[in-house]
């Protein structure tokens, strides 16, 4: 955490920070996307690459997934205010709150 804080303070105008901020705004969507893509690539029902991959291959795939997520988050937030999973979570939470309010009013 200290190293990241130091880098952000030292290089405030670095364009990577804005991209990482967008990924952070869509953290739930990126987490789900990373799990779905990884399971498709590595499990037997997908491409089945998870047998005995070399360390460098796994690191390379991880870097590609991270770059894809950065691109996805940047493009998505260009058109929408929040990520798809964040929107679904917000919608479901508001439905639960409205349901609880109606139940409380009936009491």
Q: Write down the domain spans for the chain.
A: 17-106
How far does Cα 44 stand from its chain's mean position? 24
User: Which position has the token pair 């929107």?
Assistant: 87
Phi-psi region of 48 (alpha: psi -120 to 50; beta: other; left: phi over 0): left
| pLDDT-based confidence at residue 107 (cuts at 50, 70, 90) | low
User: pLDDT tens for residues 50-75?
Assistant: 777 777 888 888 999 999 999 999 99
- CA separation for the pair 85, 70 (Å, rounded): 16
For the whole prediction, is pTM greater than 0.85?
Answer: no
Burial class (CB in 10 A: 0-12, 13-18, 19+), 83: buried
């Amino acid at each position: 955490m200290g190293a990241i804080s130091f880098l952000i303070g030292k290089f405030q105008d670095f364009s990577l920070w804005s991209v990482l901020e967008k990924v952070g705004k869509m953290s739930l969507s990126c987490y789900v996307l990373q799990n779905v893509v990884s399971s498709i690539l590595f499990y037997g029902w997908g491409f089945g690459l998870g047998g005995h991959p070399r360390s460098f291959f796994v690191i390379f795939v991880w870097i590609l997934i991270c770059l894809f997520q950065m691109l996805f988050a940047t493009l998505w937030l260009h058109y929408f205010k929040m990520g798809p999973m964040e929107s679904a979570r917000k919608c479901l939470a508001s439905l639960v709150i409205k349901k609880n309010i109606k139940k409380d009013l009936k009491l």
